[in-house]
Structure 1
Amino acid sequence: MSEATRLAVIGIGNMGAALVKRLRAVGYPVTVWNRTRETAEDVAARTGATVAGTPREAAGTSDVVFVSVANDAADLAVHEGRDGIVAGLRRGTTVVDTSTIDPHTTLRLAEMVRGAGGVHVDSPVSGSGSSVEAGTLAVLAAGDAADLDRVRPILDHLGKVFHIGPTGTGATMKVAINTLLIAINQGLSEAYVLAQAAGIDPATAYDVFEAGATGAPFLKYKRAVFEHPDDTPVAFSLGLVSKDADLVLALAERVGVPVPQAQANKAAVAAALDDGYADRDISTLAKHLRELRTRSSRG
């Protein structure tokens, strides 16, 4: 596919907006749709993208349709119905679904797309919005190799492409990744607050976490949130983390794997949600731990 290939991005949240910016930066014409039109118009104004009135319209004028929505229900909603993606597909149009959803839902969506004559690539991504813009994502592509090859030149602009396996394995791999991501964040939150409470300068503690055996890209791009939890834009809300934690537990039950740490992490996220943290970033769990410590000392 050439840079004249027409692209659409359905869902303009943090990741969707970053996708639009990256794809426009490398020269592709992009049409966008979002449930809240004002959001789509804002991104279009900043990137030179075109705004569609419905997912059907966006799909009908594009060769490749990227989908980046919050959950299974939203993904089904943008595919189904008279105004959905499937209704607008032309034969051979490729749908690249980057959403984090249940693998069973991925299989259902792929069947719908293929039944309408389209091509489906199950392709969640791992990384931050800044990773999208830098082209350093991990792209977890799944489906037929020939279908992946059709869009690989586009995906190569986003980062390193892994062909995980048949349809559904991309979604499964993303659930596995988020099992680890949530665990890293919880462990870092506890270690950071523990060191600070024990009298260690928090900046020094974070320097050591980054430099030692625990150093990982996640620590580097989340440092600002840990140090300034009230002043940093939300990249991955705890509401979405909770949804992903549920996907982890559902997959674990399905395949019969005990995941005691994932269960404990889900409980920690649930406690933060109960305290009003749904719209806060995942790394504000450290702030929540400090609040719990303060409550305990008062009690």
Structure 2
Amino acid sequence: MHVGIIGVGLMGHGIARNILMRGGFTLSFLDHPGNQPTDDLTSLGASACATPAEIAAIADVVILCVTGSPQVEAIITGENGIASTIKSGAVVVDCSTALPDSTLRMAEIVRQAGGDYIDAPMTRTAKHAHEGTLNLLAGGSAEVLDKVRPVLAAFTEKVDHVGLLGHGHRLKLLHNYVSVGFMTLLAEAAAQAADAEVDPQVFVDVLANGGGASVALDRLAPYIIDQDREGLPFFVSNALKDINYYRDMSKASGARTTVADGVSEALAAPVNDDQGNAFVPELVRLFRKEPDS
């Protein structure tokens, strides 16, 4: 199969490399200023395309790995979008974090144009993308999912079929609400501990040996102890976007958002202070009190 990918950023670059190296597929990617350097991809035989339509005209599988629903909608329905040229029977695999209602609309547009659609957002980090060990939460037809499994196997450790189309994105928002919510709470506690001059190693050890043991602690501990932010290269602005998507999804279904509203408020403060490009572990620093004047 000929594979196309749109979004060769922190996550998409690792996906693209593994499609080429582990999967052995022919690959085309969208040339975009937001891409990571792509010299290694072209050296492995990948080709750059100028528009999503150019990719859709030649690809059997088109992977989307972009920021969110506005970007996905523009890629599919915009001028020179995927829907204008998609091959009959080709499959769009949306690995972005998007709103389920938007996903259903985009899938219907792609189906009307002759293609199929799977929502398959990722869990894990950019490190796992480069290692080819991402996990995917796939929603949609089992038959369509089986059709693209050989491609997905090139960059994943596990692909869970979680239900109907849209359920992949719904579960990703639930997952990120819990994950980002935990890390936001932990960062605020770590900031308070630092303000009180608590030894950071002692703080981490106390949590790790008690009820605070968690993946959130594992990911933030390198920053809490050594100010190493690379354990989770995930922008605060993207964390806020995901929390607000969760709030939108919950409000649309009539669910309560009391805690989510607080997490959103906490994350909005550094974003509004032009710190949106900080990585999530840096919330420990951003949440600290201002020094006395």
Shift of 1:166: 0.9
Q: Aligned equivalents of 1:51 and 1:215: distance in 2?
A: 44
What is the aligned counterpart of 1:271 among 269, 272, 281?
A: 269
Shift of 1:155: 2.2
What is the aligned counterpart of 1:261 among 256, 259, 262?
A: 259
5+ long unaligned stretches in structure 1: none
1:151 counterpart letter in structure 2: V
Query: How has the CA–CA distance of structure 1 residues 117 and 243 changed in structure 2, closer, same or farther, with 3 Å as cutoff?
Result: same
Residue pairs, 1:82-101, within 5 angstroms: 82-101=79-98
Residue pairs, 1:226-245, within 5 angstroms: 226-227=224-225, 232=230, 235-245=233-243
SS at 1:163's partner residue?
Answer: strand
Query: How has the CA–CA distance of structure 1 residues 33 and 223 changed in structure 2, closer, same or farther, with 3 Å as cutoff?
Result: farther
270-279 or 200-209: bigger deviation: 200-209
SS at 1:35's partner residue?
Answer: coil
Answer whether contact 2:17 2:41 (CA < 8 A) is retained: no
Q: Aligned equivalents of 1:258 and 1:231: distance in 2?
A: 33
Shift of 1:277: 0.8
45-54 or 162-171: bigger deviation: 45-54
1:88 counterpart letter in structure 2: T
1:18 counterpart letter in structure 2: G
SS at 2:96's partner residue?
Answer: coil
Residue 10 of structure 1 is matched in structure 2 by 6
TM-score normalised to structure 1 length: 0.88
Residue 70 of structure 1 is matched in structure 2 by 67
Q: Aligned equivalents of 2:17 and 2:160: distance in 1?
A: 22
2:238 counterpart letter in structure 1: L
Q: Aligned equivalents of 1:231 and 1:213: distance in 2?
A: 24
Aligned CA RMSD, in angstroms, stands at 2.4
TM-score normalised to structure 2 length: 0.90
2:157 counterpart letter in structure 1: G
Shift of 1:31: 1.1
Shift of 1:81: 3.6
Q: Aligned equivalents of 2:224 and 2:136: distance in 1?
A: 26
Query: How has the CA–CA distance of structure 1 residues 48 and 228 changed in structure 2, closer, same or farther, with 3 Å as cutoff?
Result: farther
1:278 counterpart letter in structure 2: G
5+ long unaligned stretches in structure 2: none
1:190 counterpart letter in structure 2: E
